[in-house]
Structure 1
Amino acid sequence: MTVSIVVVSHSEKIADGAAELAAQMAPDVLVLTAGGTTDGRIGTSLEKVLAALDKADSGGTVILTDLGSAVMTAESALEFAENPETMVLADAPLVEGLVAAAVAAQGGADMHAVKRAAESVGGPARHPEDAPLKMVGEGSATGKGPDFTGDFELVNQAGMHARPAAKIAGGLSALDAEVTVNGVDGASMTGLMTLAAGKGSVLHVEAWGPDAERAVNYVGGLVQAGFGEP
C-alpha cells in the first residue's frame, strides 16, 4: 500500500490544482486535499484537514502545506488524529514538494522517504537528522571517485522537462545515495530542469553510497524507457 499525501492550502483551487498535477506524475498515489474553509472562503479548516487524514490509506501519510497558518492547522490536526504516528508534516514548497513526494510514493518509498523527497526540493530539512544525504556542499568531497557511474542518452522527444525531472528527483530522494546528474543534485527537480537537456543529450550520472548502483540503474532505466513518453 502506497503512502498517501494530504495537501493543505488556503485556496481550494490551489490544493486541487496541485493534486491534479501530482496525479499526472503518480497516478497510483492517493492525494487528498484540504483547501480553503468549509464555507468556500480563503483560509484553512481544521475540519477539512481531519476529514482528509481520515480518508488516507494506512500505509502512512505525508502532509504538505502552503502558508504559515496552514502549518499550524496541520499541526493541530495531528494532535487530534487517531494515529498520529502514521503521519508526518513535511517542510517543503507545496507544488514542487508535492510532485517529488508523489513520485517517491509511486515508486514504493515509505513515509519518511516520501517526506525527505518532498523536502529535498526546498533546501535543508526542518530537522538536521532528516536532511537527505544528497545535500553535500561544493568542495566537501574527499577526492574519492563515485562508487558507480553511467551515461545515458535522452531519447524522449521533449528531453528533460518537468515530468522526467520529477521522476528522477523523486525516486533518487528515496534512496540511500548521493547522486549527481551532469554535476547537479539528482534529487533536485529544479536543478535537473536547469540542465535544459534536450533529446540526444547525454546524462552523466555519478553516485555514492549504499544504494549507488541502484540509483544509477534507476536513472538509466527511466532514460532508456523515454520516461514513458514518445
Structure 2
Amino acid sequence: MSVGILVVSHSAAVAQGTVDIAAQMAGDVRLVAAGGTEDGGIGTSFEAITAGIEDLATTDAVVVLCDLGSAYLTTDTALDFLDEDLRDRVHVSDAPLVEGTVAAAVAAQTGGDVAAVLAAAATAGGSATGGATDGTDVAEGGGASRPEQPGGPAPLADTGAADGTVASGTAELVNASGLHARPAAEFVKAAARHDAVVRVNGVDAKSLLAIMALALPQGATVTIEASGTDAQDAVDELVGLVRSGFGE
C-alpha cells in the first residue's frame, strides 16, 4: 500500500520545512506541503489543502497532519467538497506536526498501511491508538484520527514464545552525532524488514520516536534483542548496521 502525507501549516515555510525534514528519511514517500495563504500570508488555504489532497490522489491513502486548530477546520471543510472515493481515503491525524510527520513518513517508507502510518504518527503525541474519535474506523477513512486517551506505545507482541527463537547482540555506536534522526530512520527501516519483535535498549526498534528518545551518544552500547522466526537475522543485520556507522 502507498500512503501519501499532506502537511498543513499556517506557515508555508513550516509546512515545506517539515516536508524537507521527513523527505531526508523517507525519500520514496509522497509528501506535499500546504502552508500559508494564497497571498503568502500566515493562515490556511482551502484551495491549497484541496490541491494537496488531489495531488496525492494516486496513492492508496492520504494522511494529513496539521499544526493548529483552525488548520483542522479548514481541512475538514476541504474534505466535505471532495469526491466520496477520495474523501474515504483521507485520514487526519492530530499528532504533533513535525514529529508526527517524520514518524508517519518513516512508517510509510517501510511499506506500512494507513493504520500503521497513523499509529506511528500517534506515538509522537503519546498515543498508541491512532483511532478516530468520531466513530469512523481508521480503515474506513474520511474521518479525523484524533486519539482520546494518552499513553505510551502499544505493548509489543511476544512472538518468541511460539517458536522459542530468541537472539541478542551488542555494538558500540560510532557516529559522531550519536543515534540522531537519519541513522535512527535507517535503523527503523532495517528492523521493519523483519517479522521478529525487535527491541533496542529496551524500546521498540520499529518506532522512530522511541529510538530517538533514547538520545544515544557516540560510544554508547546498543543492545539489540529479538524474538520470532527471523530473530537472529534481525539482530545480525542491525548489529552490522550500527557497527558500520550507518554509512556516515
TM-score tier, shorter chain, comes to 0.7 to 0.9
Q: Where do residues 53-72 of structure 1 align in structure 2 (5 Å cutoff)? A: 53-56=53-56, 57-72=58-73
Q: Which residue in 1 is equivalent to 2:142?
A: none
Q: Which amino acid aligns with 2:118?
A: K
Q: Where do residues 13-52 of structure 1 align in structure 2 (5 Å cutoff)? A: 13-52=13-52
Tell me the distance in 1 between the aligned counterparts of 2:12 and 2:229: 41
User: Would the alpha carbon gap of residues 198 and 29 (structure 1) be closer, same or farther in structure 2, given more than 3 Å must change?
Assistant: same
Tell me the distance in 2 between the aligned counterparts of 1:214 and 1:80: 48
* Count, aligned residues: 224
Q: Which residue in 2 is equivalent to 1:223?
A: 242
Q: In the TM superposition, what is the alpha-carbon distance from 1:155 to its structure 2 partner? A: 4.1
- Percent identity between the two aligned chains: 45
Q: In the TM superposition, what is the alpha-carbon distance from 1:181 to its structure 2 partner? A: 2.2
Q: TM-score if structure 1 supplies the norm length? A: 0.77
Moved more, 31-40 or 157-166: 157-166
Q: Which amino acid aligns with 1:65?
A: C
User: Would the alpha carbon gap of residues 58 and 187 (structure 1) be closer, same or farther in structure 2, given more than 3 Å must change?
Assistant: closer
User: Would the alpha carbon gap of residues 178 and 118 (structure 1) be closer, same or farther in structure 2, given more than 3 Å must change?
Assistant: farther
Q: Identify unmatched segments of 5+ residues in structure 2.
A: 139-146
Tell me the distance in 2 between the aligned counterparts of 1:55 and 1:68: 23
Q: In the TM superposition, what is the alpha-carbon distance from 1:18 to its structure 2 partner? A: 0.6
Q: Identify unmatched segments of 5+ residues in structure 1.
A: none
Q: Where do residues 94-173 of structure 1 align in structure 2 (5 Å cutoff)? A: 94-124=97-127, 125=129, 127=131, 134-136=153-155, 148-153=166-171, 154-168=173-187
Q: In the TM superposition, what is the alpha-carbon distance from 1:193 to its structure 2 partner? A: 3.0
Q: CA RMSD in A?
A: 3.6
Q: TM-score if structure 2 supplies the norm length? A: 0.72
Tell me the distance in 1 between the aligned counterparts of 2:78 and 2:234: 36
Q: Which residue in 2 is equivalent to 1:74?
A: 75
Q: In the TM superposition, what is the alpha-carbon distance from 1:219 to its structure 2 partner? A: 4.4
2:95 to 86, 92, 117: 92
- Answering whether residue 6 of structure 2 is matched by residue 6 of structure 1, we say yes
Tell me the distance in 2 between the aligned counterparts of 1:123 and 1:95: 14
Which structure has the larger Rg? Answer: 2
Q: Which amino acid aligns with 2:75?
A: A
